[in-house]
Chain A
């Protein structure tokens, strides 16, 4: 148990740091950044208390907001996907995913991809619509969501497969 807590604290800090120092400065084609810091939310232990999960995701988002001067948009997006995660897990891995002692590190690849894609797009569309917050920039929101979404998914899947055990 202690081990999981340390692991998650380390993951929280290192992902936030990497996002701010490296990934926020990539700017592919001048405007697209990946947001792989949500790996923290994707990999958070399933059996843990939901309220700790909600608060820690909120804090992660708020940290990113402080660095990005984006009000509360990262916090809202992180909070939303961490709240929706049980439902998405249920849809991706079947009803009794809790009892199967699901480990995302060795879950079937196809289901993992669907899970990552869903979480990513929900996160990004919330993030960008909160960041822009005006209906007349809807095109900006959609193009950013699509561009950043694809880039994030690629980055997340690559880094997840780096740490995949076994095969």
Chain B
């Protein structure tokens, strides 16, 4: 017994090192699995608060670009409204019972922290559960998709960016409905990969890729990017397609978070069938 205590006292620093290192190792492993990486995150009061302050300053430098993007989007939406023959004055903005018929609800948020140089990139938004933003909601800009909300605290939320090697989003060709998965090979922040596109799909450089709508997260047909180049994989049965994103992932700014009103219902049904 005496010897054990002596041993412990002698190597107490090494033991402390081993314990702390194990904790760090555990946290690292947890951060690499999609569903568990929630302990150490940037949504706390302290980190979110500091990011809010710095992004307040940062955003001044991009105001002009954001404004331009808004104007373009507004013009596009107005044109679309006109084509459908909807009179904007007749739309009552206070009509809340429309939520029963509208499946997707869009909420604005601001990016306060964005990474794109690592292999696992995350984005922090300045809105959280208080603004009814919760996990598994899609995040988009006017130009294309950004990622999926992974964790929400009261005031902030963390988004798993499409520039993350754990991200996997259902996508398809706009023209033909050939489905594949959107992944990222960590090489460039402007280019993502679409894998598992069947060999028979008619691909052409410049074709548009949109979301597939096979999950509850993104509605069908949200823009992603255009085909840059493509090649058959080693089995020669599926294409791997390089896609140039429409979004500039290095300068995102304002985003929309998509809430699917039917998500809980759909998930409940899927759970039942699984059991």
Question: In the bound complex, do residue B28 and residue A130 qualify as a contact, i.e. CB atoms below 8 Å apart?
Answer: yes
User: Interface digits, B7-34 against A, CB 8 Å rule (1 contact, 0 not)?
Assistant: 0000011101100110111111111100
Question: In the bound complex, do residue B17 and residue A79 qualify as a contact, i.e. CB atoms below 8 Å apart?
Answer: yes
Question: In the bound complex, do residue B119 and residue A140 qualify as a contact, i.e. CB atoms below 8 Å apart?
Answer: yes
Question: In the bound complex, do residue A21 and residue B50 qualify as a contact, i.e. CB atoms below 8 Å apart?
Answer: yes
User: Interface digits, A47-73 against B, CB 8 Å rule (1 contact, 0 not)?
Assistant: 000110011001001100111111111
Contacts A73-B28, A133-B28: A66 and B117 contacting too (C-beta < 8 A)? no
Question: In the bound complex, do residue A83 and residue B25 qualify as a contact, i.e. CB atoms below 8 Å apart?
Answer: no
Q: Report the stretch among B35-43, B69-77, B226-234 that lies at the interface.
A: B35-43
Least CB distance from A128 to B in Å reads 9
A22 to B252, CA, bound (A): 19
Contacts A21-B54, A133-B32, A137-B119: A69 and B41 contacting too (C-beta < 8 A)? yes
Of the candidates A20, A27, A68, A75, which one forms a contact with B50 in the assembled complex, judged by CB atoms under 8 Å apart? A20
In the complex, chain A residues whose CB is within 8 Å of the CB of B28: 71-73, 76, 130-131, 133
Question: In the bound complex, do residue B186 and residue A72 qualify as a contact, i.e. CB atoms below 8 Å apart?
Answer: no
Question: In the bound complex, do residue A76 and residue B115 qualify as a contact, i.e. CB atoms below 8 Å apart?
Answer: no
Of the candidates A21, A54, A70, A71, which one forms a contact with B13 in the assembled complex, judged by CB atoms under 8 Å apart? A54
Question: In the bound complex, do residue B119 and residue A131 qualify as a contact, i.e. CB atoms below 8 Å apart?
Answer: yes
Of the candidates B17, B113, B117, which one forms a contact with A27 in the assembled complex, judged by CB atoms under 8 Å apart? B117
A17 to B40, CA, bound (A): 17
Least CB distance from B41 to A in Å reads 6
Indicate whether B177 reaches chain A with its CB closer than 8 angstroms: no
A-B contact list, 25 entries, CB within 8 Å: A30-B189, A32-B117, A55-B16, A55-B20, A58-B20, A58-B24, A65-B27, A65-B40, A66-B47, A68-B115, A69-B122, A71-B27, A71-B31, A71-B32, A72-B23, A72-B27, A75-B23, A76-B28, A79-B17, A79-B24, A131-B119, A132-B119, A133-B32, A140-B119, A140-B186
Interface of A toward B, CB cutoff 8 Å: 17, 20-21, 27, 30-33, 50-51, 54-55, 58, 61-62, 65-73, 75-76, 79-80, 83, 130-134, 137, 140
